[in-house]
Structure 1
Amino acid sequence: MLTELRLTGFGVVEEAALQLGPGLTALTGETGAGKTMIVAGLGQLLGARGDAGIVRRGSERALVQGRWQVPPSVVAQVEDLGGDVDDGQELVTQRQVSAQGRSRAIMGGAPVPVSALGQVLDQLATIHGQSEQQRLSTPERQREILDAWARPAELEGYRRDWAERRAAAAELESLVDQAMARAREIDMLRFGLEEITAAAPEPGEDDALASEATRLMDADDLRHLAGAAQKALSGDDDDFDVPSAVGLLGEARKAIAALAERDGLARELSQRVQEAQYLLDDVAVGVAGYVADLVADPARLEAVGQRRAQLAGLMRKYGPGLGDVIDWAARAAESLQRLEGSDGRIEELRARIAALDERLTAAALSVSADRRRASEQLSGLVETEMAALAMPHASLTFVLTPIEQGPHGADRIELMFTANPGSAPAPLGKVASGGELSRVRLALEVVLAGASEDHTFVFDEVDAGVGGAVGLEIGRRLQRLATTSQVIVVTHLAQVAAFADAHFVVAKASDGQVTTSDVRQLDDAQRPAELARMMGGSGESVAGVDHAMELWSAARR
């Protein structure tokens, strides 16, 4: 239940606050005073689109705040979204729209998406506005009305299966359409993998082969250079008189060792020359080994060249470097596995679609049966309501026509209406007058709303196009509905407002430049004057006030 609604800087409303309670609440006022702003403000809390146009001129933002008494199921949803519910049952919600058009929603003190705010509050309140009268003529809305009453047991499951089937069919179509392209890609990947696997490249192999080729091609030059180095280090085996670095350093080490025995200051020099001897010996052994390994091998040089050519061919096709070739092969193997599994996926999808088709057919039959049973009951209840609204001979029936299965079943639902017993029923939107359509809408809403207790229903101009005794019947039905739910009605009929438990009036004022609306609650002493004004008289006329008092007393009885 909505316990408070506050509007700030919203349209023509500068500041307004409504303290609301259970039962029937009426909002009245002169045409153009801003009554619909109250409904529009509540619509913002329920997720309606907000833009800069709703912000009052001169204001930085429009703000709508609502306080609600909520059930435990809603408390859990609010907490899941990060909000808090005061005392376990009072929820504060806000919707803000800036002068630049930016929108913000707050629920239980936590910022939430506007859609989330609307989804939660849609469980608590429903607005029936003027647009509903036009929507009532559409098959979509007529189906929604019937389903709201019938509540087909299999409908929710049907919709889930339909959505799954649609997704599966789209995936299947895509896989089948791409079959030829997929086959070409499989052949390309398989050829590339076979070529790379046959070559079996190793990481870094190209660099190693390049170094080996250089050594093999320059073997004579390298051997000459290495031989010269070896002779300088170790001497010439054919001419023992040629000095060597190892021999000369050995002589120096012996001389400095003798020097160190006589002079302690030379001991460090002795250690250093000994370390140099070890290092030079190691270098000499290394050079000798290098010379020994340098062998001219034309066969090996040819083999290295062929291998390098093979790897170069792979790199031209699959990557600038050998590492890129190896990475391509890994990715290609994964892609090939996925693509080769597509045929299995196609069969899997076909089997799943066949199973879903079976379930959908059975569920659609069940949904249709539930709709047909409920349509007769709903038509009877609505016709009873229409009779009380001065349409005693009116007939309203739901016609269900089988169609191809769709997202909501296999029925086309159409409301057929006739106001007179001698006339053949025809589509509601084509034959009902404005006043008749308004009463049909109210009859449907009263019947449907009566099935939902502890809910807030807002009726905006539900009495459009009617008056007199029919207005009294509208008031009675709203009053009856208000025994189980909170009802807020924006009305221009005194016959409806007289039945209200609480009465607010929206008054318009202007300073010559800016128009504002003020909302105030009437006490019992003030209500007769407002009812008299609504009946076309003067709130100060004794006769008018007396007539209003009589109407109000009758409504209370």
Structure 2
Amino acid sequence: MLEELEVRNLGPIRAANLALGPGMTAITGETGAGKSMLLSAIQLISGSAASSARVTPGADDAWAQGVFEVMLSGRAARISGEAGLPPQGSGREQASVHGPRRVALRSGANLDVADDAGVGEDTTGELFLSRQVPASGRSRAILDGHTVPQALLGEVSGELVTIHGQADQMRMASPARQREFLDAVADCERESEAYTKAWDALQAADAQLKKIMTQESGVRARADYLRDSIAQIDKVDPKAGEDVELKERRSRIENAEEIATGVGSALMALDSSQVALDSDGDADGASAVDLINRAVDSLRSIRVEGGFDDAADRLESINTDLADVVYTLSGRMNEVEDAGSLDSINLRIHELDELMRRWGPELSDVITWREKAGYEVEDLDASPQKVEELKAKRAELFDAAVEAAEQLSVKRAAAASDLAVSVTRELGQLAMGGARFEIRVVRRQHGGSDAHSLAVDPASTEPGLRREEGATGFRLDPLDAHGMDDIEFLFTPFPGSPQLPMGKSASGGELSRLMLALELSAASRRQVVNTDMTFIFDEVDAGVGGKAAVELGKRLAQLARTSQVIVVTHLPQVASWADAQFVVSKGGVRERGVSDSGGTNAATETVVPAAEGSVGRSGVETTVTKVEGEARVREIARMLSGAESKTSLDHARELLAASNL
């Protein structure tokens, strides 16, 4: 609930601080005194648009702050914590933690227990929602002392405040707001979450299917290119390292004569037995092998103790290595190819170079590309089959979404029936006995040829679903992100008047009472009451008087049993039901009254007076005063007759005494 509302430099209000409590609070005062500015302050901290035109002339900025008591387990506290706000100090006390932990600290909860075992449903704390509007420039949205996006402030306040002014009532006329209201009353969170999950899965399948079908022509072109490329590579049939080997072979053929001369000379020098004799029939000199053999023989012929066998052994080892070299060179001499094979080698190298130019740069890259291309072609060839498989999967997902939407629709239908009956009954208690409220839930069908429709008529004993003949089955078009229902609130203000959509058939006062009837009916249906919520009603009493006004006040007081209610009213029959009352007045005049004992009044001044000569836009300063005891009697008397008299004072006391549930 809203515990405290602080306002500074907003229109004619220089400074005001309202300490609010549970139950029902009435805000009263003469027309034009500035009651709307208090409502504007609440709208500002709720994330609504800000205007520098509302800043008090001469002030640097306007300021509004609301201190809310919240349930630690509620959505508002969770949203604050999820925003990741750092620690901050408030205007009233220093906070050492933020979000839900800070809230728990304010309530005296054991944080270790809260972290380990969860927080109790009745654990409460405080959140600070603030708004600063400069005389020029952009406004600041502030949550727990830290600047946040305006949307975040609106998201948090949406869990804490429901405002029923004329503009807000007109927003309720939108189908989206009506659907949200009905869903909140229908207790269909589980069905709604199930449908959202099914809808998201269906949307993902549709996106994937659309992408594949859009790319189908490109897929075919890609597959043709890959097949042609694979065919060209396979025709050449390259082998890893083949290009290097071929270039070596070509080099040997091109240098065959030089290779033969050089290798032959080397063999002659190493081992003359490996080459042909010259024309004289004798080797040209001794070879290295011959010379080493002679040296070995010479060393082994020495017959002395400690001879030269070790040296001879080493020379024989050298001779063995030379024999290996000679063998290798002899083999290379035999490998020299015929020059006639050079053309075929050059042709093969050219084919390989062409492959590397297109799919290289290395031959290994060509081979790797061909392997990958083969796998890709297989995938692309399977694309039509994948499309069919995805279509089948999508059909299953659509059926699941339809089933989830039907379950959600059934919940909505049942709630709509009960809610319409309850609202019509409440309207009768609010001096609108001939009014009738109806909720129409229409299940969309393909092409609109068939529909499940729900027309809830409180006068009927059998409200429910009616299915038209000739159903053709569901298609894609009946579904959207919220289900398959078109929801419309219809209102007939008096017998004989046409039934029209809500907002088109009701005046401002009628719409205010209709909103009150909706909230009263919704409160009675809530299985878990949102005790965080504060309901604010503006001009709910327009066009109401006498007994109807008394009943209106009583109904507001009943709503205040489960939620905090703040009502801006001109009617004493409504204000008298409030648990607390604030008076908005012009001129900064302190309200004075006489107590039963003859002492000063019980009014509490909640305005810090402006400096002398400072005024609001209208030339006067507005003050906000909490009235209690005899001061409240005097205010009710003023509202009754416009002046204080013994008769009006007595009437005021009687009215206050009678305004009890």
2:177 to 94, 119, 141: 141
SS in 2 for 1:416: strand
Q: Is residue 223–residue 294 contact of structure 1 (8 Å, CA) maintained in 2?
A: no
Question: How has the CA–CA distance of structure 1 residues 14 and 227 changed in structure 2, closer, same or farther, with 3 Å as cutoff?
Answer: farther
Q: Give the drift of 1:352.
A: 2.9
Identical residues among aligned pairs (%): 34
Residue in 2 aligned with 1:461?
538
Q: Tell me the distance in 2 between the aligned counterparts of 1:81 and 1:43.
A: 17
Residue in 2 aligned with 1:36?
39
Residue in 2 aligned with 1:26?
26
Which stretches in structure 1 are left out of the alignment for 5+ residues?
Answer: 247-276
Question: How has the CA–CA distance of structure 1 residues 366 and 33 changed in structure 2, closer, same or farther, with 3 Å as cutoff?
Answer: closer
Q: Give the drift of 1:243.
A: 13
Amino acid at match of 1:58: D
Residue in 2 aligned with 1:383?
424
2:523 to 449, 455, 459: 449
Amino acid at match of 2:517: A
Q: Give the drift of 1:480.
A: 0.5
When normalised by structure 2's length, the TM-score is 0.63
Q: Tell me the distance in 2 between the aligned counterparts of 1:105 and 1:303.
A: 83
What does the per-residue CA deviation read over 1:279-313, in whole Å, with 9 as the maximum and x for residues that have no partner?
xx99x989968985883553654444333322333
Question: How has the CA–CA distance of structure 1 residues 416 and 286 changed in structure 2, closer, same or farther, with 3 Å as cutoff?
Answer: same
Amino acid at match of 2:41: I
Q: Give the drift of 1:411.
A: 3.8
Q: Give the drift of 1:479.
A: 0.7
Q: Tell me the distance in 2 between the aligned counterparts of 1:5 and 1:335.
A: 67
SS in 2 for 1:385: helix
Amino acid at match of 1:187: D
Q: Tell me the distance in 2 between the aligned counterparts of 1:50 and 1:228.
A: 103
Q: Is residue 386–residue 394 contact of structure 1 (8 Å, CA) maintained in 2?
A: yes
Question: How has the CA–CA distance of structure 1 residues 205 and 144 changed in structure 2, closer, same or farther, with 3 Å as cutoff?
Answer: same
Q: Is residue 169–residue 515 contact of structure 2 (8 Å, CA) maintained in 1?
A: yes
Q: Give the drift of 1:181.
A: 2.8
Indicate the larger mover: 174-183 or 315-324.
Answer: 315-324
Q: Is residue 185–residue 415 contact of structure 2 (8 Å, CA) maintained in 1?
A: yes
Q: Tell me the distance in 1 between the aligned counterparts of 2:552 and 2:65.
A: 33
Residue in 1 aligned with 2:91?
none
Q: Tell me the distance in 1 between the aligned counterparts of 2:247 and 2:15.
A: 85
Amino acid at match of 1:399: R
SS in 2 for 1:450: helix
1:537 to 625, 642, 647: 642
2:486 is the alignment partner of 1:412: yes
SS in 1 for 2:525: coil
Amino acid at match of 1:350: K
Residue in 2 aligned with 1:398?
439
Q: Is residue 193–residue 329 contact of structure 1 (8 Å, CA) maintained in 2?
A: yes
Q: Is residue 161–residue 536 contact of structure 2 (8 Å, CA) maintained in 1?
A: no
Q: Tell me the distance in 2 between the aligned counterparts of 1:138 and 1:62.
A: 29
In the TM superposition, what are the counterparts of 1:464-479 in structure 2 within 5 Å? 465-469=542-546, 470-479=548-557
When normalised by structure 1's length, the TM-score is 0.73
Residue in 2 aligned with 1:310?
351
Q: Is residue 535–residue 563 contact of structure 2 (8 Å, CA) maintained in 1?
A: no
Question: How has the CA–CA distance of structure 1 residues 180 and 552 changed in structure 2, closer, same or farther, with 3 Å as cutoff?
Answer: same
2:488 is the alignment partner of 1:429: no
Q: Tell me the distance in 1 between the aligned counterparts of 2:80 and 2:338.
A: 83
Which stretches in structure 2 are left out of the alignment for 5+ residues?
Answer: 85-99, 110-118, 290-317, 446-477, 585-606
2:388 is the alignment partner of 1:347: yes
In the TM superposition, what are the counterparts of 1:107-118 in structure 2 within 5 Å? none
Indicate the larger mover: 402-411 or 117-126.
Answer: 117-126
Q: Give the drift of 1:333.
A: 4.8
Q: Is residue 458–residue 488 contact of structure 1 (8 Å, CA) maintained in 2?
A: yes
Amino acid at match of 2:72: V
Tell me the C-alpha RMSD between the 2 structures. Answer: 5.4
Q: Give the drift of 1:37.
A: 3.2
What does the per-residue CA deviation read over 1:409-458, in whole Å, with 9 as the maximum and x for residues that have no partner?
44433333323323443434333233222222221122113333242232
Q: Tell me the distance in 2 between the aligned counterparts of 1:197 and 1:52.
A: 77
Q: Tell me the distance in 1 between the aligned counterparts of 2:7 and 2:74.
A: 27
Q: Tell me the distance in 2 between the aligned counterparts of 1:396 and 1:155.
A: 25
Question: How has the CA–CA distance of structure 1 residues 112 and 133 changed in structure 2, closer, same or farther, with 3 Å as cutoff?
Answer: closer
What does the per-residue CA deviation read over 1:188-224, in whole Å, with 9 as the maximum and x for residues that have no partner?
2333345445655566665665565455434555777
Q: Is residue 24–residue 578 contact of structure 2 (8 Å, CA) maintained in 1?
A: yes
Q: Is residue 43–residue 127 contact of structure 1 (8 Å, CA) maintained in 2?
A: no
Q: Is residue 396–residue 416 contact of structure 1 (8 Å, CA) maintained in 2?
A: yes
Indicate the larger mover: 178-187 or 328-337.
Answer: 328-337
Q: Tell me the distance in 2 between the aligned counterparts of 1:287 and 1:360.
A: 80
Residue in 2 aligned with 1:157?
194
Q: Is residue 463–residue 471 contact of structure 1 (8 Å, CA) maintained in 2?
A: no
Q: Give the drift of 1:381.
A: 1.4
Q: Is residue 45–residue 65 contact of structure 2 (8 Å, CA) maintained in 1?
A: no
SS in 1 for 2:392: helix
What does the per-residue CA deviation read over 1:216-261, in whole Å, with 9 as the maximum and x for residues that have no partner?
43455577788899999999x9899999999xxxxxxxxxxxxxxx
Q: Give the drift of 1:5.
A: 5.0
Of Structure 1 and Structure 2, the greater helix share is in 1
Amino acid at match of 1:430: K
Q: Tell me the distance in 2 between the aligned counterparts of 1:325 and 1:40.
A: 69
Q: Is residue 4–residue 67 contact of structure 1 (8 Å, CA) maintained in 2?
A: no
Q: Is residue 130–residue 460 contact of structure 1 (8 Å, CA) maintained in 2?
A: no
Question: How has the CA–CA distance of structure 1 residues 76 and 460 changed in structure 2, closer, same or farther, with 3 Å as cutoff?
Answer: closer
2:60 to 58, 61, 76: 58
Aligned length: 535
Which of structures 1 and 2 has the larger relative contact order (alpha carbons within 8 angstroms, sep 6+)? 1
Q: Tell me the distance in 2 between the aligned counterparts of 1:12 and 1:292.
A: 113
Amino acid at match of 1:392: G
Question: How has the CA–CA distance of structure 1 residues 437 and 104 changed in structure 2, closer, same or farther, with 3 Å as cutoff?
Answer: closer
Residue in 1 aligned with 2:206?
169
Q: Tell me the distance in 2 between the aligned counterparts of 1:53 and 1:210.
A: 87
1:68 to 67, 70, 88: 70
Q: Tell me the distance in 1 between the aligned counterparts of 2:507 and 2:422.
A: 21
2:218 to 175, 178, 181: 181
1:93 to 118, 124, 127: 127
Residue in 2 aligned with 1:484?
562
Q: Tell me the distance in 2 between the aligned counterparts of 1:306 and 1:299.
A: 13
Question: How has the CA–CA distance of structure 1 residues 435 and 17 changed in structure 2, closer, same or farther, with 3 Å as cutoff?
Answer: closer
What does the per-residue CA deviation read over 1:509-545, in whole Å, with 9 as the maximum and x for residues that have no partner?
766487797766444454345556666836x888776
SS in 2 for 1:406: coil
Q: Is residue 479–residue 500 contact of structure 1 (8 Å, CA) maintained in 2?
A: yes
Q: Give the drift of 1:374.
A: 3.6
Amino acid at match of 2:127: T
